[in-house]
Structure 1
Amino acid sequence: MKQPLNIFWFRRDLRLDDNIGFFEALRSEHPVLPIFIFDSEILDQLPEDDARVNFIYDTLQKMRSNLQDERDSSIAMYHGKPLDIYKKLVEDYDINTVFTNHDYEPYARERDKEIKSFLKDHDIDFKTFKDQVIFEKDEVVKKDGDPYVVYTPYMKVWKENFKDYDLKIYYTNDYLDNLVKNTRLPNLDLAEIGFKKSSQQIEEYTVTPTLIQEYEDTRNFPAKDSTSRLGPHLRFGTVSVRKMVKKAIAEKNEIFWQELIWREFFMQILWHYPDTTKESFKSKYDRIEWRNNEDEFKKWCEGKTGYPFVDAGMRQLNQTGFMHNRVRMLVGSFLCKHLLIDWRWGEAYFAEKLHDYEMSSNVGNWQWVAGSGVDAAPYFRIFNPTTQIDKFDKDRTYIKKFVPEFDTDDYPEKMVDHKEARERCLKVYKEAVS
C-alpha cells in the first residue's frame, strides 16, 4: 500500500525559505513531495536559448542539491502540460493534498481552475496561499469595493492597511524533516525540455542600505546603473517580497518602498481587469488607427531609429535582457507616439526579451505610455527623445556604451522628425478619443 503524501508545487516561488505555501505544506500531517513542472504551454512559445528558462533551471538544480545534501530529499522535475503531469502523479502516489501559492495571471488562473477540478474528482484537496505580494486581489479597494485605478490613492490605502499587517517571515528550516526521503527524484536536463545554454545571464540583485538610500537620487540616470535588479528575482520568487519590504522599512526609504507597491498596484489591476492584456483599459483608445509599419517596427526593435537614447535602450535590451526603467518609458512612448505602432507590439517584444518580464507591470506600463491604461499619462504627453538626453544622460555615457557609432557617419539618420511625428500623433489620437 502506498504511503499518503502531500505535494508542494513550486512555481513562481523558487526558494526554500519564507515561502508560505511550502511552509504550510511542511507543517501538514503527511510527508511532502516537492515538484516543479516545466510547463510546455509556456515554454513552447520561447526561444531555445531563453535566459529566464536557464535561470529557473539553474535555481532549481541548486535547490535540489541543497535538499539532497542537507535533508536526504530533492525536488521532482517534470515537463509537459500540468494536467497531464497530475494525471501521472495521481497514478504514482497516494496524494492527500496539493499545496501551492497563488498566481494571478489569466493563464495561471485557468490552469489552476482546471487542476483543482481534476484533483477534486480524485478526492484530493488543492490549497493555495498568498505569497508573492503583501496585499492581493481585493484587499486594497475603495470603500464601495471597487478597485483603485489610480496609483496614489491605492498606495495611501495600502500603507494605511499595512500598519495593521503582521509582516512575519515564514522560516521553514524547523520543518524540512517532513520532506519525502528520496534523493533520486526525477530530474531533467535543459535539452530534455528543448532548451540550450543562454549567452545572457540574469544578474544577482543588489539591495544594500546604500542603494536604497541613494535610490531616489540615482534611479533616473541609466549610466549610473544603480537599480537593484530585483525584477527577475521577484518575478520568479528567488527572493521574498516580505524581506524586501522589511529592508525598505528598515532604511526608511519611501521611494524604494513605493516601487514595490507599484508592482502590487499593477498586479491587482490585472486581477480585476484580465482583459487588459489584449484590450485598452480605456476602451476608446482601441479606436486609434495605428500605422503599424513593419519596417519601422524592425528599426525600433534593432535600435536603429536615429534617436540615440531610444537606440541605446533597445540595444541594451537585445544585448543584456535588461533595460533601465527611465529608458523603458522613452522607447515605449517613441513606439506608440512617434511611430504610431500599437502598444501590444511593444509589449510582446518586451515579453520575449526582458529578463524581468512581469505580465501585470509590462501591460500596465505599456498602456501607461500609450495613454490607454489606468493612471495613464495623457495622450498629449509625448517625450522628446532628444531633450531627454540632456536631462538623463548629458555626458552621453550610456548612449556611447550601447551605440558605439554614435556621432559618426555610420549612425543612421532620424527615421522621423520629432515635431512632425508629434503633430501626427496628436491628430490621430484626438480623432480616436474625442
Structure 2
Amino acid sequence: MPTTPTKALLYNDTSEHFMMSTACLMWFRRDLRAVDNAALSRALLRHKTCHCVFVFDENILRLLPRDDRRVAFIHAALQELDTALRQHNGGLRVLHGDPTQLIPQLAAELHCDAVYCNRDYEPYARERDAQVAAQLRQQGRELRSEKDQVIFEQDDVVTKQGKPYTVFTPYMRAWRQQFTPLLTQPFPAPLAGALAPPTEAQSLLSLAELGFAAAAQQAVRLPTGRTGGKVLLQDFALRISQYKACRDYPAVKGVSYLSAHLRFGTISIREAVRLTMDIEDEGAASWLNELIWREFYQQLLWHFPDVVTQSFKAEYRQLAFPGQDSWFDAWRQGNTGYPLVDAAMRQLNQSGFMHNRLRMVAASFLVKDLLLDWRRGEAYFAAKLLDFDLAANNGGWQWAASTGCDAQPYFRIFNPVSQSEKFDPDGKFIRRYVPELAALDNKAIHAPWLAKSLPSGFQLGRDYPEPIVEHAIQRELALALFGKK
C-alpha cells in the first residue's frame, strides 16, 4: 500500500532520519497552492526555515506564443500564492531561466540542505529533475520529491504480475480496491518550520517583463488561482449529482471546469476525490471514474514514455495518413463544413477550452474523416488548451485514433452529424460558435448541405463552407487504412 498522508505519519517522520535541519528550498511547479501540498508540508516539518521559489522555465516558454493563456493563468495563480505565503511571513521568489541551473544556484546561495518538490511524471520533467538532483548531490545537498498530483502513481497500482495495466477497467477496479479515504486527507501545514520572505528583487515579474502579452490575462475566461479553483469546486458540488446525465451535452453546464486547476495544482487531487466521497451518487461515481482515467494515463506515460512520439500499438506506427494539408488548416480554423466539429474548434481557438465530448468528436474527425496523423491534432490541442496535460492529451488522442492502449476500436468511427443531433439537438452550442448558421432550423443546422430549404439570403459555400469531405466515403477509406495495419 502507498504511504498514507495522515498528520500523525508526517509528524512521526521526524523521529530519526529527518531530524530538523537549518534551511530548505520549496520548488513549486504544478502545485500552485499553499495548502494540502505534500512537498511544502514535509519541508516545513523537517526544516527550521523554508524558502519558496517558482521558475518560469525558459526551455518551455520560448516555445510558446506570446499570447499563451497558460502563462497568464500561472501568473495569476502565482500572485495569489505569494499573497498566501506572505500572510505567514513568507513569500515567493519567482525566477526566469533554466531551472537546472537556477535551482542548484539558489539552494547554494541560501545554504539549503535540501530542495523539495512534488513529482512530475512527464519525460521532460523527469530529465530536468534528474539533472537538478545530480547537481545538488555534487553540492552535498538533496532533491526530495513527493507524490502530490495523483492518489496512486508509478507502480502503486499494478497487476498481480507486477506489470502496468494497459486496459482501463481492470486498472479502475484495482484502483478502487486499493483506495482508502485516508488517502484523501489533506497534508497539514506544520508550525515547526518557518517560511522565509524573498527579497523584493525576486518578486513576480509582469507578463510584459516575461515577454508575454498582457492581453493574455483577459483571454483567460476561467476564475484563476486558489480562490478561483475553490469557487469552481464549490459550484460543481451543487451540480455533481447531474454529472453523468449532463456531461456529454456541450450547451449544458454539466462538466466541472476544474481540469486547468487540477493541471496546475490550485486544487489538489485529494480535494477532488473527497467531493465524490461526500456526495455518493451516480454523478459522483461517474466523475470519480474520470479522475481515475486521469491517473491511468499518468501511469501509462510513466511506464511508456515513448507514447509521446509514437503510437502505443506497434501495428499502427507505420500508417501512411493520406490526408491533405488544406484539410488540416480547415479543421484547425473551424471551417470543415461540419457544424459541430467547427463549433468545437472555434470554442478551442476562442477560449482555450473544449468540451470533453467534443474533444472526442474533433479528434475522430481529424483521424478517421480527414485521414490525418493524430500527432498533428495532439500538437494543436497542446498549443491551445488551457488545461493541457501531456498524459491526458496524448491518451485521449490515441484513444480516439485507435492507436493507444484500451482505445476505441478502429472500426468504431464517430459520425459527426449523428453526434451533433444527439448531443446538441437544438443546435444551441453550434449557434454560439458558428453564428452564421443561427437562422437555420434545428434539423438543418446539423447538416446544412442536406437541408431541403435554407433561410433566404443564406448561401452554402459562401456564408458557410460546404463539407470538405464526405463522411461515408472517408469512413470506408479509414477502415481500409487501419485494416491494412
TM-score norm. by structure 2 comes to 0.86
- Amino acid of the structure 2 residue aligned with 1:122: Q
Is the aligned partner of 1:429 residue 2:482?
A: yes
In 2, the alpha carbon distance for the partners of 1:230 and 1:79 equals: 27
Post-superposition Cα deviations, 1:76-114, rounded to whole Å, max 9, x if no partner, equal 110001122134314522121101110000000000000
Q: Distance in 2 between matches of 1:181 and 1:417?
A: 62
Conserved? CA contact 1:72–1:183, under 8 Å: no
Residues of 1 paired with 2:464 and 2:253: CA distance? Answer: 24
Matched, 1:246 2:299: no
Q: Is the 8 A contact 2:250 2:423 kept in 1?
A: yes
> Counterparts of 1:391 and 1:163 in 2: how far apart (Å)?
38
Structure 1 counterpart of 2:166:
149
Alignment map for 1:8-407 (pairs within 5 Å)? 8-68=26-86, 70-163=87-180, 165-172=182-189, 174-175=190-191, 178-182=194-198, 184=200, 186-187=202-203, 188-197=205-214, 198=216, 199-204=218-223, 205=229, 206-207=232-233, 208-252=236-280, 253-406=284-437, 407=440
Q: What is the CA distance between 1:251 and its match in structure 2?
A: 0.5
Inter-CA distance 182–80: structure 2 relative to 1 (3 Å threshold): closer
- Residues 1:44 and 1:108: Cα distance change in structure 2 (over 3 Å): same
> Is the Cα–Cα contact under 8 Å of residues 45 and 193 in structure 2 kept in the other structure?
no
**Letter of the structure 1 residue corresponding to residue 42 of structure 2:** E
What's the CA shift string for 1:287-319, capped at 9, x where partnerless? 211124211100000000000010000000000
Percent identity, please. Answer: 43
Residues in 2 aligned to 1:54 and 1:394: alpha-carbon distance in whole angstroms: 35
Shift of 1:171: 2.5
Segment of structure 1 superposing worse, 417-426 or 156-165: 156-165
Q: Answer yes or no: is the 8 Å Cα contact 2:24–2:107 preserved in 1.
A: no
Any conservation in 2 of the 1:75–1:185 contact (CA below 8 Å)? no
Distance 1:250 1:72 in 2: 34
Report the residue type matching 1:368 in the other structure. W
Contact 1:74 1:185 in 2 (8 A): no
Find the aligned partners of 2:255 and 2:420 in 1 and give their Cα distance. Answer: 19
Q: Secondary structure at the match of 2:382?
A: helix
For residues 50 and 404 of structure 2, the distance between their equivalents in structure 1, rounded to whole angstroms, comes to 43
| Cα deviation digits, residues 131-186 of structure 1 (max 9, x gap) | 000000011110001111111110000000003754321121x4386111446360
Whole-angstrom CA distance in 2 between matches of 1:63 and 1:301: 35
For 1:416, the equivalent position in structure 2 comes to: 469
- How far apart, CA to CA, are the structure 2 residues paired with 1:259 and 1:166? 18
Matches of 2:157 and 2:181, distance apart in 1:
13
- Tell me how far 1:387 sits from its aligned partner: 1.0
Q: 1:388 to 1:415 in 2, by over 3 A?
A: same
Distance in 1 between the 2:402 and 2:183 partners?
A: 37
> Once structures 1 and 2 are overlaid, which stretch shifts more, 336-345 or 249-258?
249-258
Q: In 2, are the aligned partners of 1:202 and 1:355 still within 8 Å (CA)?
A: no
Q: Distance in 2 between matches of 1:291 and 1:176?
A: 62
TM, length-normalised to structure 1: 0.96
Local SS of the residue matching 1:115: helix
Q: Distance in 1 between matches of 2:323 and 2:468?
A: 15
Query: What is the deviation of 1:66?
Result: 2.7
Structure 1 gap segments, 5+ residues each: none
User: SS of the counterpart of 2:335?
Assistant: coil
Residue by residue over 1:381-408, the C-alpha shift from the partner in whole angstroms, topping out at 9 and shown as x without a partner, is: 1111111111111100000110011244
In structure 1, what is the Cα distance between the partners aligned to 2:201 and 2:50? 13
Distance 1:166 1:305, change over 3 A: closer
Deviations 1:111-135 (A, max 9, x none): 0000000000000011000000000
How far apart are residue 30 of structure 1 and its match?
2.9
The whole-number CA distance in structure 2 between the counterparts of 1:314 and 1:176 is 50
Please give the per-residue CA displacement for 1:347-366, whole angstroms capped at 9, x wherever unaligned: 00000000111100100010
CA distance, structure 2, for counterparts of residue 161 and residue 25 of structure 1:
27
d(CA) in 2 for partners of 1:182, 1:429: 57
- Structure 2 unaligned segments of length 5 or more: list them: 1-20, 224-228, 441-457
